Structure 1
Amino acid sequence: MKILKTLILVVTCSTFFSVTSLADEFGTREEAVSLLDRAISLIRIDKNRALDLFTTGEGGLIQKDLYVFCFAPDGTVIAHPNILGLNTFEGGFVDLQGTNLGEALFNAARVGQVGEATYEYERPTTGSTTTFRKTALMTRVAGIVCGVGYYNPG
C-alpha cells in the first residue's frame, strides 16, 4: 500500500510539473482555434468522455496555457482543470473590472459558430500578478457551452 501511495504521488507530481512548465508558454490564437475544433469533434463522438478528458487534460487537451472548459446551461462548470462544479452565474467568477465572466462567456457562444469574449485577467499558472488581455473562443455544442481562452501578450 505504501508503494502504491508513493507511485501515485510521483505520477501526480510529474504530471503537475510538466503541465506547469508548459503553461509558462503562451498559446496562440491559432492553437486555441485548433484545440476548440478538436474539442467539438470529441463532444460529438462521446460527450461524457470528452468532458472527462478536458478536465484531466489527457490526450494533449492541455497545451501550453490552453485548455478546454465547458458550462452546463445553468452556468455550472462541467469541464475544467481546476474549477469543476463552480456555478459561474452566482458571482465570484469575475474579471479584473468586476464583469461576471460566466455570463460574458456564455453569451458569446453560438450554435455552429465561434464567438469571442475578451477580458483582463492574471495568468494563474505563473503566479504572476501581471495583467493580460485574454480572449475566449466560445461555442455551443450538444446542449453545452465550451471554449478555449488564449492570452494576448502584446
Structure 2
Amino acid sequence: MRRIVLACLVFAGALLSLSPALAAGDRGSAEEAIALVKKGKDFIKANGNESAYTAFNDPKGQFVDRDLYLFVFDPAGKTLAHGANAKLLGKNLADLKDSDNKYFIREFLELASKKGKGWVDYKWPHPQTKAIEHKSTYIEKLDDGTIIGCGIYKS
C-alpha cells in the first residue's frame, strides 16, 4: 500500500513540475511575436493594406495564434487593425494608459519614430483569461508610417 501511495505522490509531483512547461505552450514567445510581425509586413506588401487589415482583424485567421495577434496603428495612434478586439478599430488610443498609468501607445509611436522598431513593456488584459498581465510588445514602423506590432504576455 505504501508503494502505491508513494508512486502516486511521485507521479503527482512529476505532473506539477511539468505544468509550467505545459502552460507555456499556451503562450507565444518573443521569437514567435517577431515572426508574426514579419509575416504581417510581408502580407501587407503582397496584398495591400485593406486586405491585410481584414486578415489581421480575423480572430480565427492566420494572424492570431494562441495569445499572439497583430495590430496596426497610424502615426497618430488610430487603430487600423486589431486581432483581439474589434471594438478598438478606428479609435485613437494615443491617450490610453495601462494599469500603472503608462501611455504605452505613445511609447510605440515614439519608438517607431526614433528607432523604427523595438520592444515596449506595459500591462494589458490577456485576451483569453482577461487578467491584467505584464506584456512586452514588439513594434515595427512600416514605409507608410504605420506601426505593426505583436505582444507577448509574461505572466
Tell which deviates more after alignment, 27-36 or 100-109.
100-109
Correspondent of 1:118 among 118, 121, 127:
121
Residues 93-139 of structure 1: CA deviation (Å, up to 9, x unaligned): 211111122201222225995311111223242133xx422111011
User: Which one of 90, 107, 110 corresponds to residue 85 of structure 1?
Assistant: 90
**Alpha carbons of structure 1 residues 38 and 112: separation in structure 2 relative to 1, 3 Å:** farther
Deviations 1:16-63 (A, max 9, x none): xxxxxxxx9211111111101101111112222111111114641100
- The CA RMSD over aligned residues, in Å, is 2.2
Kindly indicate whether the alpha-carbon contact (under 8 Å) linking 2:55 and 2:62 is maintained by their aligned counterparts in 1. Answer: no
Deviation at 1:152, TM superposition (A): 1.3
- Distance in 2 separating the partners of 1:73 and 1:110: 9
Secondary structure at 1:31's aligned position in 2?
helix
Partner of 2:64: 62
**Higher CA-based Rg:** 2
Confirm or deny: 8 A CA contact 1:28 1:150 kept in the other structure: yes
- Is 1:95 matched up with 2:98? yes
Partner of 2:55: 53
- Contact 1:112/1:141, CA 8 A, preserved across alignment: no
1: CA distance, partners of 2:45 / 2:66: 25
Rate the CA distance shift 1:31–1:49 in 2: closer, same or farther, 3 A.
same
Check if 1:27 corresponds to 2:32.
no
Q: Deviations over 1:56-109 (max 9, x none)?
A: 1464110000000001122110001311111012x3x21111112220122222
User: Who is 1:13 aligned against?
Assistant: none
**Could you list the runs of 4 or more consecutive aligned residues of structure 1 that deviate by over 4 angstroms after TM superposition?**
110-113
Tell me the TM-score normalised to structure 1 length: 0.73
Gaps of 5+ in 2: 1-24
The verdict on how the C-alpha distance between 1:40 and 1:111 changes in structure 2, with shifts beyond 3 A counting, is farther
**Which one of the candidate residues 84, 98, 109 is aligned to 1:106?**
109
TM-score (norm 2): 0.72
